[in-house]
Structure 1
Amino acid sequence: MRFGFVYVLIVTVFISCKPSLNLIYFRDLKDLEYTTKIGNRTKPHIQSDDLLGITVSTLSPESNALFNNGVIQSTVKTALVSKDNNEGYLVDENGFINFPVLGLIQVGGLTKEEATQKLTSAIEKFVRKPIVNIRFIDFKISVIGEVNRPSNYTVPTEKINIFQAIALAGDLTPYGKRNNIAIIRENEGVRKVVRINLNNKEVLNSPYFYLQQNDVVYVEPNKSKAAQASLSRSNVQFGVSVALSILSILTVLVRI
């Protein structure tokens, strides 16, 4: 037991003495200036349980009142909300919203722009030149693992990159593996896990540089954290062993 304790202690000291290169973002960025083209960002697609803010503007006040009734609607549940709250339309599990006058409209799997065009075309059958605006009310991401403030975060914009997400979570702890960040993403019933390296400047060109709604960012602990946890377990085991030994001695003494 003592040998195991000493071994873990030596490993911990060895790891802690290594250069902390893992703490550096863009470690391979040697030039004073690095320029990269901004590629086309993968636009988020509307998913089940998304809450959409939809407003319709027309030349008719009556039509405006008709198409903007301030109701959270879905094919599953309906709840009245005031104009001061985040009103919107809840996308049901089949990708539908229940929109005034139009009824059930399928928007799941569409981008915001595609859904806007679809609604505009449908509303044009009733009024002239409608202007439709759609936004995500609950664009959420989760950041967990070795960060200072792991949590779910609601983002007021639909454009957030991996570094902005990490900043929301208070940055990585010294034990976080910056070279192996996992991003968990669900899209159309398929769950996918990809890994990116924040130490590499090529992360700026990654299609996963920008996050999508409901993405989960997981930061794994490094070896130093694992050694620390192992050391803690060894201390507990050693303490339990000593306590059992003392208890055995006391039992023998009482019998004598």
Structure 2
Amino acid sequence: MKSVINKRNIIIFILLPLIFSCSRRNLGYFSNYGDEKLLTEDITLKPKQPIIQTGDLLQISVTDANPAAAAPFNRISSNTTSTNSASVNSQEGYLVDENGIIDFPILGRIKIGGQTKAEAKLSLTNLLTNYLGNPMVSIRYLNYRITVLGEVRSPSTFLVPSERINLIEALGMAGDLTIYGKRENIKIINEANGVRTVAQLDLNDKAILDSPYYYLQPNDIVYVEPVTARKDQSSLTRSNISLVLGIISAASLVILNFR
């Protein structure tokens, strides 16, 4: 009788890791959309226009019906033959200083910090009408970037040439979440006008598509927190340990049945 009890205790002890390893996590995105084969809904969220801030590097070009008249208002790179794009951009771009000011040819120091690109474009156009007949201004970010860190396959800082990116696109650029990424707690860290904002989004919930933080702003940081299993692992992941214990459990049951 004692032998039977000991065998039963051994089996229960061995099977416990298997029971805990079977706990399920929701690894899907937008899980509460349901099983509809086709779903159509109005898009109410529009991306916020980025605000020009200290440290932004802008490419500003001026054109006019008279190209010769517009030429003095365009900064010409002194190293146009360089193959290093970062070097070319740093010379062609206008760096916004700590006071939100840029040094513009002929016009001098102009404050554009705190404005959207559209507002800055209008301000420059109004100033240029004193010199040109029909000035047209184009503004682009040269350092529009976002950073994705944490439990993703390829954490990095990414340049965004399109100047528009949402959370899902950013995660895609970083290779998507690993199985250890906590999908219900994605942090978006934004700093603007001396204020830091940390928003938490749940990838399991379709409501993130309407979140004001779904579209990322320049220099945003996306952080994917690891689940507890990832935090607790040392040299082996918990899943690998569970697999090994599962094999041991199965082998032990076979041995006990033959005794």
Q: TM-score range by the shorter chain?
A: 0.7 to 0.9
From the superposition, tell whether residues 202 and 26 of structure 1 become closer, same or farther in structure 2 (CA, over 3 Å): same
What is aligned with 1:192?
197
What is aligned with 2:241?
none
Check the 8 A contact 2:146/2:220 in 1, yes or no: yes
- The structure 2 residue matched to 1:113, chosen from 118, 121, 126, is 118
Check the 8 A contact 2:70/2:132 in 1, yes or no: no
Q: Stretches of 4+ moved more than 3 A in 1?
A: 9-16, 229-232
Check the 8 A contact 1:177/1:219 in 2, yes or no: yes
What is aligned with 1:82?
80
What is the distance in 1 between the residues matched to 2:97 and 2:17?
51
What is the distance in 1 between the residues matched to 2:116 and 2:146?
18
Please give the secondary structure, in 1, of the residue aligned with 2:31. Answer: coil
User: What is the CA-CA distance between 1:15 and the residue it aligns to?
Assistant: 4.9
What is aligned with 1:228?
233
The yes-or-no answer on 1:53 pairing with 2:51 is no
User: What is the CA-CA distance between 1:93 and the residue it aligns to?
Assistant: 1.2
Counterparts of residues 1-256 of structure 1 (less than 5 Å): 15-21=20-26, 23-32=27-36, 33-34=38-39, 35-71=41-77, 80-82=78-80, 85-86=88-89, 87-229=92-234
Structure 1: 5+ residue runs without aligned partners? 1-8, 72-79, 233-256
Check the 8 A contact 1:57/1:130 in 2, yes or no: yes
Please give the secondary structure, in 2, of the residue aligned with 1:179. Answer: strand
Check the 8 A contact 2:146/2:160 in 1, yes or no: yes
Please give the secondary structure, in 2, of the residue aligned with 1:225. Answer: helix
Please give the root-mean-square deviation of Cα atoms over the aligned residues, in Å.
Answer: 2.2
What is the distance in 2 between the residues matched to 1:168 and 1:19?
27
Query: How high is the TM-score relative to the length of structure 1?
Result: 0.78
Structure 2: 5+ residue runs without aligned partners? 1-13, 83-87, 238-259
User: What is the CA-CA distance between 1:39 and the residue it aligns to?
Assistant: 2.1
User: What is the CA-CA distance between 1:31 and the residue it aligns to?
Assistant: 3.8
Check the 8 A contact 1:49/1:93 in 2, yes or no: yes
What is the distance in 2 between the residues matched to 1:124 and 1:101?
13
Check the 8 A contact 1:12/1:227 in 2, yes or no: no
Check the 8 A contact 1:53/1:89 in 2, yes or no: yes
Query: How high is the TM-score relative to the length of structure 2?
Result: 0.77
What is the distance in 2 between the residues matched to 1:166 and 1:15?
29
From the superposition, tell whether residues 60 and 211 of structure 1 become closer, same or farther in structure 2 (CA, over 3 Å): same
Identity %: 45
Task: Encode CA deviations 1:190-234: one digit per residue, 9 max, x unaligned.
Answer: 1111101111011110111100000000000012212324988xx
From the superposition, tell whether residues 213 and 167 of structure 1 become closer, same or farther in structure 2 (CA, over 3 Å): same
1:178 aligned partner, one-letter code: R
Check the 8 A contact 1:12/1:224 in 2, yes or no: no
Please give the secondary structure, in 2, of the residue aligned with 1:185. Answer: strand
Q: Which moved more, 1:146-155 or 1:27-36?
A: 27-36
What is the distance in 2 between the residues matched to 1:96 and 1:15?
59
